[in-house]
Amino acid sequence: MKRIMLEIAYDGTNYCGWQIQPNGITVEEVLNKKLSELLKEEIAVIGASRTDSGVHALANVAVFDTNTKIPGDKIKFALNQRLPNDIRIQTSKEVSPQFHPRRCNSRKTYEYYILNRRMDIPLERLYSYFVYMPLDFEKMKEAAVYLVGEHDFMSFCSAGSQVTDTVRTIYVLDLTKENDMIKIHIEGNGFLYNMVRIIVGTLVKVGLGVYPPEHVKEILDARDRMASGPKAPARGLRLVQIAYNKEDVYQTKME
Amino acid sequence: MKRIMLEIAYDGTNYCGWQIQPNGITVEEVLNKKLSELLKEEIAVIGASRTDSGVHALANVAVFDTNTKIPGDKIKFALNQRLPNDIRIQTSKEVSPQFHPRRCNSRKTYEYYILNRRMDIPLERLYSYFVYMPLDFEKMKEAAVYLVGEHDFMSFCSAGSQVTDTVRTIYVLDLTKENDMIKIHIEGNGFLYNMVRIIVGTLVKVGLGVYPPEHVKEILDARDRMASGPKAPARGLRLVQIAYNKEDVYQTKME
């Protein structure tokens, strides 16, 4: 028995998110089915990030256990042949049997894209949030500074989360603009339910002039979801990277 | 009666190209239908570029004649409300009744995107050509130089074209690379049937080492479609701009 880790890219447009659920097709479900067919065993992957319906990923992480003789780094080729072309395994490798993608510490990177112009561009519609009203980019950058560091992000957590500890650390929150496209790059040690999308929705309210930048500090202090902005649409969000400590991933092999 | 000019952006993924045809839905057909409904007249647009199935556009141009009282620059808003979200009118305005988007001289700009890496990225799959084998970018740039200027591009024209004069001028043919994405920017006074895609297919053969860069000159001289490379897939191509002389567009109004 060995444990295999996958890095998975997907276009979330046609999926009801990562996690298996009765109402529609999910990425986890497709992976389990195709892996079980390929390896002729019952496979159930454990995912790192249970992305919401419509959210994209360049490298979500999942592990599964298998008795296959196919070398870990070859599994991606065989699996990609069976997967639909909106899901693509980027890497596959054998890892420590103890490695668990949700229980081990990680640094997660997300990007969010906002298209800010008078007219929508069809080629961007699936991967960005189109905002017609002009956004004050400098004010959004100013507001973002208040969110960097360790804070209680309870105001930025959707109802329905079972998490009790809502303190998280944001290492990086960078906004850049190229032509009409605003890119929000965010890295942290973990994110609450819908946290990135609520941060973006709040920054958009600042950009629209509804909140002054410094109001973001008050939103944090309120520790109340009602204080923050709406959650921005899923399609603008992509999970870019999940980085683990090498020791967690390879632990047993190094012994 | 007045003539209205539209600049139209579309995601070509779900269309059988621009021109009306019996086998599938086209952009021209959707525009005619939605304009006729909106303006309560029988509308038939005249398009500038009859893009192929799967090709995208940021600003194709079309004109039509109408008796409507809606001001030219307002038509885009009313029309966008009726159009599917993969077609978006960028501008609408009244132009000279003599202005014809195919008969007037223009400068056309296309871009072609090639994703060159080991693994495909699902978020790029609809708008780029994925090439797994490593491409020699410098050699592709070298080869492109031979195509700039006025040449007989008969070798770069698909069979089935009724054009007899195959001399065209390429003003700009620039290749740039950002991470794994190669962007080919091409501007000219006109393009033969499939010309951009055959140029790209030929440059890819150079990048793969099948042709040396200077072989492109021999391909031009051969004046034979069999001499050039395959046509690259439609999805990587987008029509970016069609620029006209102001006098052609506004002629009557200036008198």
Q: Report CB contact under 8 Å: A122, B9.
A: yes
Q: Which of B72, B103, B134 is the last residue of a domain?
A: B103
Q: Report CB contact under 8 Å: A122, B89.
A: no
pLDDT digits (tens, 9 = 90+) for B98-115: 999 999 999 999 999 999
Q: Which of B44, B74, B103 is the last residue of a domain?
A: B103
- Partnered with residue B183 across adjacent β-strands are B113, B176
At residue A164, the pLDDT reads 86
Say if B112 is an interface residue toward chain A (CB within 8 Å): no
Say if B87 is an interface residue toward chain A (CB within 8 Å): yes
Shared-domain flag, residues A52 and A15: yes
Q: Which residue has the higher pLDDT, B163 or A110?
A: A110
Structural domain of A61? 2-103
Shared-domain flag, residues B95 and B188: no
Residue whose C-alpha is closest to residue A181's, from A224, A141, A236: A236
Q: Is the pLDDT of residue A126 over 50?
A: yes
pLDDT digits (tens, 9 = 90+) for B31-43: 999 999 999 999 9
pLDDT digits (tens, 9 = 90+) for A45-73: 999 999 999 999 999 999 999 999 999 99
Q: Tokens 């132009």, residue?
A: B95
In a domain, B251, yes or no: no
At residue A254, the pLDDT reads 46
Lowest-confidence region among A161-165, A174-178, A212-216, B142-146: A161-165
Q: If pLDDT is split at 50, 70 and 90, which confidence band does B216 have? A: very high
Shared-domain flag, residues B55 and B125: no
Shared-domain flag, residues A40 and A166: no
Q: Is the pLDDT of residue B254 over 80?
A: no
CA angle A168, A169, A173 (to 5 degrees): 125
Q: Is B110 annotated as contributing to ligand binding? A: yes
Shared-domain flag, residues A98 and A186: no
Shared-domain flag, residues B84 and B111: no
- Partnered with residue B89 across adjacent β-strands are B8
Q: Which of B88, B103, B118 is the last residue of a domain?
A: B103
Contacts of A126 in chain B (CB under 8 A): 126
Shared-domain flag, residues A89 and A113: no
B240 is written with which tokens?
A: 């970016």
Note which residues in 128-167 of chain B have CB less than 8 A from chain A: none
A73 is catalytic: no
User: How close B32 comes to chain A (CA, Å)?
Assistant: 19
Report the share of chain A in percent with pLDDT over 70: 98
In a domain, B42, yes or no: yes
Q: Is the pLDDT of residue B253 over 50?
A: no
Contacts of B126 in chain A (CB under 8 A): 126
Q: Which is it for strands A181-188 and A106-116: parallel, antiparallel or unpaired? A: antiparallel
In a domain, B117, yes or no: yes
Q: If pLDDT is split at 50, 70 and 90, which confidence band does A255 have? A: very low
In a domain, A252, yes or no: no
From B58, B119, B122, residue closest to A121, measured CB to CB: B58
